[in-house]
């Protein structure tokens, strides 16, 4: 039985707090633009200032994602990405940097693969946890048992529409950190971060000790700096994906995401 890196995730978030800054959490889908290119990009994020990376397991029907991540998922799936490739992405990005790496995906691929097998393989690869935004807490018992046995965090997403009683139930069941959606909507870059995010973070904090990281729509250093004033972590995804999509080749794409990660890492210092 292998043990995943939930403790590494917890220590990483605690260290950021001790350094009086928010943690920077990056997101990129595996297999995008290729499996090896995705590994290089995830590693680049961790080397350039991200404290944590979420590796997306691409899905045919990403209902929580906007057009940017949908496009990347489609490219990855057309390239033939498999779950073994996603696990390898976690393994190599973690091995190269020693930093915590999670998987973010939809429930059907994990359910179909087998929750226990998935958790085992993710833990064996050095993974720290999993985020499953369409698996509500009521349906999560089987997954959480498997994750706990494998030493993995189960990160739940909460939304501005979540009522306090549900927030309490979700944070009670979750581990690692709480993913607070900054607004009501799908992933993608936005002009501004809503006031809803600050209020949601304070409502979560009122009932739980878990760190709270804010994502959805955060793309610029200025937005990250704003979120860092009230949250334990800042999650950026679509802005990285956009840079890779726009780049002429992988090398310039990697340079672009490194540049953004560096600027964001600077901005989350309070």
Partner 1 sequence: MPSDYFIPDPEGHSPNVAGYFGAFGGKFIPEALVAAVDEVAAEYEKAKADPAFAAELDELLVDYTGRPSALTEVKRFAEHAGGARVFLKREDLNHTGSHKINNVLGQALLTKRMGKPRVIAETGAGQHGVATATACALFGLECTIYMGEIDTERQALNVARMRMLGAEVVPVTSGSRTLKDAINEAFRDWVANVDRTHYLFGTVAGPHPFPQIVRDFHRVIGVEARRQILQRTGRLPDAVAACVGGGSNAIGLFHAFLPDTDVRIVGFEAAGHGVDSGEHAATLTAGEPGILHGSRSYVLQDDEGQITEPYSISAGLDYPGIGPEHAYLKDSGRGEYRPVTDEAAMRALRLLSETEGIIPAIESAHALAGALDLGRELGPESLVLVNLSGRGDKDMDTAARYFGLYDGEDQK
Q: How far is the CB of 82 from partner 1 (least distance, A)?
A: 6
Residues binding partner 1 (CB under 8 A)? 59-64, 66-67, 70, 74, 77, 82-83, 107-113, 133-136, 138-139, 156-163, 166, 170, 181, 184-186
Closest to partner 1 by CB, 43 vs 154, is 154
Whether the CB-CB separation of 252 and 44 falls below 8 Å is answered with no
Query: Distance from CA of residue 132 to its chain's centroid?
Result: 10
**Least Cβ distance, residue 235 to partner 1 (angstroms):** 15
Q: Which of 7, 70, 29, 10 is nearest to 209 (CA)?
A: 10
CA-wise closest residue to 105 among 42, 27, 35, 167? 27
| Nearer of residues 24 and 81 to partner 1, judged by Cβ | 81
Angle of helix 35-47 relative to helix 238-246, nearest 10 degrees, comes to 120
Q: Nearer Cβ to partner 1, position 109 or 207?
A: 109
Q: Hey, which residues are catalytic here?
A: 54, 65
- We find the least distance from the C-beta atom of residue 253 to partner 1, in angstroms, to be 23
In angstroms, the CA 5 to CA 120 distance is 12
Q: Residue 70 or 89: which CB sits closer to partner 1?
A: 70
In the block, residue with structure tokens 């950190």 = 177
Could you tell me the two tokens for 208?
A: 């739980």
The secondary structure of residue 105, as a DSSP letter, is -
Smallest separation (angstroms) from partner 1 to the CB of 251:
29
């Amino acid at each position: 039985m292998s043990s995943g890196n939930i403790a590494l995730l917890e220590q990483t978030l605690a260290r950021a707090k001790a350094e009086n800054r928010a943690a920077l959490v990056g997101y990129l889908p595996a297999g995008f633009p290729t499996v090896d290119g995705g590994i290089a990009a995830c590693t680049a994020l961790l080397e350039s200032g991200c404290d944590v990376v979420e590796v997306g397991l691409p899905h045919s029907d990403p209902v929580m994602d906007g057009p940017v991540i949908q496009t990347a998922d489609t490219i990855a799936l057309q390239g033939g990405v498999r779950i073994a490739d996603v696990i390898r992405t976690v393994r190599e990005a973690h091995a190269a940097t020693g930093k915590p790496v999670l998987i973010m995906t939809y429930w059907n691929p994990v359910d179909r693969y087998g929750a226990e097998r998935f958790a085992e393989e993710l833990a064996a690869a050095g993974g720290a946890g999993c985020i499953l935004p369409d698996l509500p807490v009521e349906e999560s018992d089987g997954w959480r048992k498997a994750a706990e046995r494998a030493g993995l965090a189960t990160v739940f997403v909460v939304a501005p529409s979540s009522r306090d009683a549900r927030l309490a139930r979700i944070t009670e069941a979750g581990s690692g950190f709480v993913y607070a959606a900054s607004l009501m909507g799908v992933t993608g870059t936005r002009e501004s971060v809503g006031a809803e995010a600050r209020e949601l973070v304070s409502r979560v904090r009122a009932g739980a000790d878990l760190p709270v990281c804010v994502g959805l729509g955060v793309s610029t250093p200025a937005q990250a700096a704003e979120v860092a004033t009230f949250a334990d972590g800042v999650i950026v995804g679509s802005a990285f994906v956009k840079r890779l999509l726009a780049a002429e080749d992988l090398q310039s794409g990697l340079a672009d995401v490194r540049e953004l990660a560096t600027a964001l890492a600077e901005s989350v210092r309070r």
